[in-house]
Amino acid sequence: MIPDSVPIETTVLKKITPNKKEKKEMERTIEALKEQVSKEIKKTNIPITLELVGSTAKDTYIRTAVDIDLFLVFPVTVPRAVLQEQGLKIGRAILEQQEECFAEHPYVRGMFQGYKTELVPCYKIEHASQKLSAVDRTPLHTRYIKDHLDESQKDEVRLFKQFLKGIGCYGAEAEIEGFSGYLCEIMILKYRTFQQLIEQVQHWCLREILTLEEGTNLEFNTPLVFIDPVDSERNVASALSKEKFDLFIKACQDYQKEPRLTFFFPNKPLPWPLEKITEHIETKEFIGIKLPKPEIISENLYPQIRKSVRSIKELCEQHEFTIQDATFSVDEENVYIVLQPKTKTLTKTVSHTGPPTRLKKNADEFIEKWLDNPRTTKKPYEKNKRLYVEIERDYTDIRQLLEDQVRQLSLGKNIDLAISSEITVLDKNDLLIDNLRMFWTTYLDSRMSWER
């Protein structure tokens, strides 16, 4: 229990703010990393400089999530191919448990002395207009925050980040579709404190536009727009989905009414027993598709999964199966796409509506098309001064549709490859498995994370 006299924010900050010992250890690790990277740089004969970026450089990081982002800054005269080759070579020589990632060019992510670390090559620029790739801006972002963020506001950023972590909205990566660390920092610059931010967010509308600098009026078709103070042509909030935008506003409204620690540190939900899940979905229809999980990084995987969900839903609706919900779950080995159709079967025939009879040309074309069509079961007829025809459906069973047609869709390079070798259509009972207990628990539990 927290004593009433201790504000929740104070308790949170004690948990998430790195202490002096932790800061010293992290600083020593960064110096050791720079030393090793510098040795590798000497082998290249290129005047590459080093710039620490991200939350560790700005002292806005949370003690439980320390990432070291070190940029290898190349002169603009170096060809892109050389930058990529040398950047990867240096990363591979130093980092453990490494994986190759891709922004606008490849870089290496891995571990260094126990810390998650990224070594990213970029070009040296002084203004965003000079950028040769998107990552070139990042050092400018770091400098902007260091120049404008007050010492006291660093804790406000930490509070805001932990709040977003707690409600599941922190991270601009494709898996989360939430708020980046830089977006958190400029939002605190905008609203000064975490509390004022919470109060102001409740008045936001869809397509809210925020700026720090005057004279930036570009329009973006996203739920939230925050014009980058470093690059007026960029929307810092472009990764934020409508789902996470709505969730964030709801969380701010609820927090304003009743602040509690579970907004920052939610209770981990326990998976429901399969018997309870079965009871909750007993009266509903579900059907699923299981495919092997492609061995690619999450930044590439999740956009393809979301595209697959949309495309499969559209396929069903083109054949007149109403889909009430469509979602997905990912485990170590498989991707599950879960659909909730209104019904799994349709009538064998359907009445197809034609034009009004007064539109003679259109009416004649309709009759010509359907009069001797092999799908026609009842020839075109007139009713209430409009033409109709009864035709046979292509598919009356959603399972058959999925089995026949999903492989024909374009779902993304890696998903297409996965389903070309293996795809399984699952009935509702096949979806009631241990691997999906947590998926069903969070899907069916109507409570917000902070209410559990």
Sign of the CA dihedral 307, 309, 312, 316? negative
433, 315: one domain: yes
97, 236: one domain: no
pLDDT at res. 5: 53
Is residue 378 included in any domain, yes or no?
Answer: yes
292, 416: one domain: yes
pLDDT at res. 3: 47
- Which 3 state secondary structure label does DSSP give 220? coil
Is residue 52 included in any domain, yes or no?
Answer: yes
Task: Please check the confidence at residue 420 and state whether its pLDDT lies above 80.
Answer: yes
Task: Please check the confidence at residue 6 and state whether its pLDDT lies above 90.
Answer: no
160 contacts 192 by C-beta, under 8 angstroms: no
pLDDT tier for residue 403 given thresholds of 50, 70 and 90: very high
User: For the packed helices 398-405 and 298-318, what is the interaxial angle rounded to 10 degrees?
Assistant: 130
Is residue 1 included in any domain, yes or no?
Answer: no
Sign of the CA dihedral 274, 278, 280, 284? positive
252, 109: one domain: no
Task: Please check the confidence at residue 185 and state whether its pLDDT lies above 50.
Answer: yes
pLDDT at res. 257: 96
Is residue 380 included in any domain, yes or no?
Answer: yes
Cβ burial of 300 (10 Å; 0-12, 13-18, 19+) is middle
CB atoms within 10 A of CB 130: 13
Q: What is the CATH number of the domain that holds 365?
A: 3.30.70.1550
Task: Please check the confidence at residue 105 and state whether its pLDDT lies above 90.
Answer: no
109 contacts 60 by C-beta, under 8 angstroms: no
302, 443: one domain: yes
Name the residue with higher pLDDT: 2 or 327.
327
138, 195: one domain: no
Pairing mode, if any, of strands 224-226 and 287-292? Answer: unpaired
Q: What is the pLDDT of residues 204-219, one digit of tens each?
A: 999 999 999 876 667 8
Q: What is the pLDDT of residues 294-346, one digit of tens each?
A: 998 888 999 999 999 999 999 999 999 999 999 999 999 999 999 999 999 99
Q: What is the pLDDT of residues 261-301, one digit of tens each?
A: 999 999 998 999 999 999 999 999 999 999 999 998 888 99
Q: Rounded to 10 degrees, what is the CA torsion of 419, 422, 425, 426?
A: -120
pLDDT at res. 219: 81
pLDDT at res. 1: 44
- The CA distance from 168 to 161, in Å, is 10
